[in-house]
Structure 1
Amino acid sequence: MNSDDLPGRPAIEFHHYTAAQAREQRRTVEDIYRASYIDAIESGDEFETPDAFMHRFDAYTDPDRGDGFELVVAVIDGKPCGQTWGWPLQKSTAWWGGLSLDDGDPAEFTEEDGARTFALSEIMVRSADTGKGVARALHSELLDGRPEQRATLLVRPTNTRAYQTYLRWGWHRSGSLLPSWPDAPTFDVLIRELRHR
């Protein structure tokens, strides 16, 4: 599938992968990560090391999960330049562990059935390809037309650029969350209602 051609923007091609297919793209996934999170990797933060990142990727793509994982890779001129992935939260999800909700009933907020919430886990663009509309195109490609009621993502409060971008794209803060991953920071929880056609 190709993005709509916009004046001054390169044509973006999208490749979709299931969890099993995503495992076959492991090298591409790591290469995009290394070219997107250069400063984070160089910071020495244990959570941001390529090994820690790929350990999480392997857990997300575990074939036993069977939760509808989807990876989308953006390609410009034959070269992978960005990626995003996520999955619908199942009834037994561990996603909401460590949640501190700003308002409302936590039990109601975190109730999942596999059709209520889509978790957008990662979205990244190679540093050399930022400013070309790739992130927005990936965001739309993954979320547009999804059947779930809402989507959620986690963002570091200090990641001002990404945070402001998500707010412009219709996301809003609902609380904070400390994942159970080793060395994980506390993230803000963002929610976005999904449009249904």
Structure 2
Amino acid sequence: MSNELGLRHHNAAEAQALTDELVEVYLDAHADDGAFYNEERYRQQLAGHIKVSGWTVVTAQVGGSLVGYIYGFPLSPRTRWWEGIRGDVPPGFTEEDGRRTFAISELLVRADSRRQGVARTLHDRLLSGRTEKRATLLVRPDNAIALRAYDSWGWTQQARLRPGWENAPEFIVLTKALPSANTHGQR
């Protein structure tokens, strides 16, 4: 059995076959984070997100076991991603066209696999080659470890956002310019 980290992109059909494992990692990663982070709500979220055009996931395995994953999708012109945003943002910040912003919905690593570079490796793999101009994600303000990591990876805090979901916490909105977007025909 190898301890080497194996990464793999999955399409929606492949990911649906992994749903139970994805949920298991989610629950492990959020074991101490409160009632919002429950199996039923996450299964609904995942089922909805998998259907979004352009949805993709990268998984990380060690010794054949799933230790983490990251997934996201391009924001469509009709996205609800920005609903509940608070604070001053530049004009047009929340306007989407399906090619402007790639949203990372989840970056999860099992507790026993943290601090080994798994999250950074997943992050870099998912964002490499993206053609959108920017990426966005949401982080709870009390998640100091994640905020420090994202800051060191070049993310910038923009605003706060509280989704309309029941018991949803408030999040910090982060964005990051995607360098590959500058090499794909922008003039």
Q: TM-score, normalised by structure 2?
A: 0.91
Q: Could you say which residue in structure 2 is the equivalent of 1:83?
A: 69
Q: Is the 8 A contact 2:27 2:37 kept in 1?
A: no
The corresponding residue for 1:178 is: 162
Match of 2:5 in 1: 12
- Whole-Å separation in 1 of the counterparts to 2:141 and 2:115: 22
Match of 2:60 in 1: 74
1:41-80 equivalent positions in 2, closer than 5 A: 45-62=34-51, 65=52, 67-80=53-66
Distance 2:27 2:58 in 1: 17
Show the counterpart of 2:82.
96
Report what 2:128 is aligned to: 144
| Contact 1:176–1:186 (Cα < 8 Å) also in 2 | yes
Contact 1:46–1:52 (8 Å) recurs in 2: no
What SS does structure 2 have at the residue aligned with 1:51? helix
In structure 2, the residue corresponding to 1:128 is in which secondary structure?
Answer: helix
Question: 2:25 aligned to 32, 38, 44, which one?
Answer: 32
Of 121, 138, 153, the residue aligned with 2:137 is 153
Sequence identity (%): 38
Would you identify which runs of 4 or more consecutive aligned residues in structure 1 move more than 4 Å?
none
Which blocks of at least 5 consecutive residues in structure 1 are unaligned?
1-9
- Cα distance, 1:150 vs structure 2: 0.2
- CA offsets per residue over residues 78-135 of structure 1, 9 Å max, x none? 1111011000001111111111243421xx1111111100000000111111121100
Matched with 1:7 is none
The answer on whether the counterparts of 2:75 and 2:100 sit within 8 Å (CA) in structure 1 is yes
Find the counterpart in structure 2 of residue 126 from structure 1. Answer: 110
- Distance in 2, Cα, partners of 1:29 & 1:104: 36
Distance 2:167 2:35 in 1: 6
AA at the equivalent of 1:28:
E
When the two chains are superposed, the root-mean-square deviation of aligned CA atoms in Å is 1.3
Number of equivalenced pairs: 179
How far apart in 1 are the matches of 2:12 and 2:126? Answer: 14
CA distance in 1, matches of 2:14, 2:165: 24
TM-score (norm 1): 0.86
Q: What displacement does 1:11 show?
A: 2.8
Whether 1:114 and 2:101 are equivalent positions in the alignment is: no
